[in-house]
Chain A
Amino acid sequence: MINILMLGGRRCGKTTVLASMCNSINQALTGANLRIEPSDENTRRRLSAAQSVIENKLGEFKVPLTRIKMDDSPTAAETRYSFSVFSEGRKPFETLNICDFPGEWITDAAKAQKVRDYIAGCQVIIIAVDTPYMFSNLTDKGFGAYHEEYNKTREITNFFKNSISAQHSSKDGSQLFKDKLILFVPLKCERYYHLTKIKELNTNNRDYMNEIAEAVKKSYGELLDFFKSTPELAASCTVAVTPILSAGGVDFVKFQKDEETGRLVAVYQEPEYLKADECGYSPKFCEQPMVYTLLYIMQRIIRANVNKQHTSAFSTMFGGKNSAVQIAVTVNTLTKRVKRFGDGYCIIQDPTHSIS
């Protein structure tokens, strides 16, 4: 069983990106002899609903000069998305669970143990970042004025530093944190992707997407330090930044204060100067976190085989005499599909060369 944990501030759009990811993953897996499908009706329904919401929102752009407010519904309780992994022509051989829980749990002492358990039981941690909050109103710290408050950077960092055992000598007996893939996933990067590409508006030749990766490094600097704070962590954790365009043809414009709630609300519009195929619902790079995950897991299998340790159903998925060849083909395809640089992609730490 592969467990992925999604962390991030409230309303940052985690469900939306899962829907887009689910939509695009199988195309990315073409040739890898792998396929991923929602394994239960709940997962299928939730993701379908989330996709409908975003598509409907984008549909509003058919009326010229329309701007929409994005105010995602917060996750009220822990939500599990369950997927089945198939190899070509076979029954599902592996389950992939993605757990999304309310952002507040991070700071809720009563939930701390539960979060710790999730972290202990997962192989991949996705730290979702609402990019407009991270990047707008840039301050001298290198990230936006609202970032810490809305994306809970300090809370997430402190949780790891204070609640997760990184030392063998830990007194609380909790499971040692190691062998994880940690992905920082800036969501809703459309504006910055488009601004980088559109020469009419990018008179300074800025690489906004690269600046986003830098902002991640600066704002989560302490957390990144934590992931290499012991020799074991540094030798076992893979860390990368994988920005995503959650919906495609929709750019963040500005924040405005909601008069009723007093909350900051992000206002979006249809980008200018776009090619026709980039307009409307056209998410980009959404498959990458899943590609990273699969590649990371496959590489672990290969290492385990070398060490004669069969730790996952993957080791038997391509049963038969050509299984080693099949695994090599899958890894080779995933290696080609994984995006390692450009557009803000950046591998920060990969001691086992799982990705790079």
Chain B
Amino acid sequence: MNEKLQKIKQEVIDNLNKIRDMNVLRDFETKIMGRKGELTEILRGISAMSDEDKKNIGRLANDVKMELSAKFEELKDVLGKTKSDAIIDVTLPGEKLPQGHLHPITIIQNDLEDFFTSLGFVIADGPELESDYYNFEALNIPPHHPARDMQDTFYIDSKNKEGEYDMVMRTHTSNVQVRAMQKFGAPLKCIMPGKCYRSEATDVRHEHTFYQIEGLMIGEDINMSHLKGVLEATAKHLYGPDTKVRLRPKFYPFVEPGVNGEVTCFLCKGAGCRLCKNTGWLEVFGAGMTHPNVLRAGGIDPEKYQGFAFGFGLNRLVMGSYGIEDIRLFNSGDLRFLTQF
């Protein structure tokens, strides 16, 4: 039995030295080591032996088996490496994993929320179906004020005791200003993002449903130069470190002074192009120092506190950044659009 084992071991080693091909090697391995292989047959014979032989021969047989297996594996490694006929195209695409997409306005809103949160601002919410009071009156826009012309309003079909429609779809996120003041008091730093509505016909440039972010900062000495500072920081965050902000007078009833904030056109860097209508500036913000009447409506003493508010449209921001020309795409639910973000 011992000899048999030694013999087969030598034969195998001799043969292995000659083999240069993986397939030949595999066949040879099966012939020796397989379930019906020569070595296996020998090993199977051991079970019929006496206990003593079993112990001695068994150990030897096992050693031979281990040794040969190792030789086979060794040669497999060598042959495997030198094998050159199977070409692997590494440029093939990888396994396709399904991908989800956030809406582009969500992306920019999250980004701005994170920016303002890092400055210590709170994110405040308010209702989209709003009372005339919070959307207009509390913001220093009494009934029949010409400023109501600036915003075509969707009214809710429900009248109050005086027989007036007193609820609207909010026309701006400014409706949250007074709510936030009442909730948090002064000092206050908050932003208010959300969906807004104006009753105007939709076309490539106009949408009756759109998104804004509003900001409000109230303190004992929050002044106009701080308003400029925060707007400039925001503009730089959005458009890069070289961006400048230019303020122009603009009337909003809830601020005094009221301004319009323009930023350096990010496309032409202020040189003038089609996007900025050759002015070098893009209109981005509405802003101003909070009107004392608004502070009063929010329960904040205007003798003690002052501050600023600003707001901007997210749709326009996204349109500018991506060169989107049709505002209606945002509410289209069209996957060809949405899967690009």
Asked if A pairs with B, the answer is no
Report B's interface with A, CB cutoff 8 A.
none
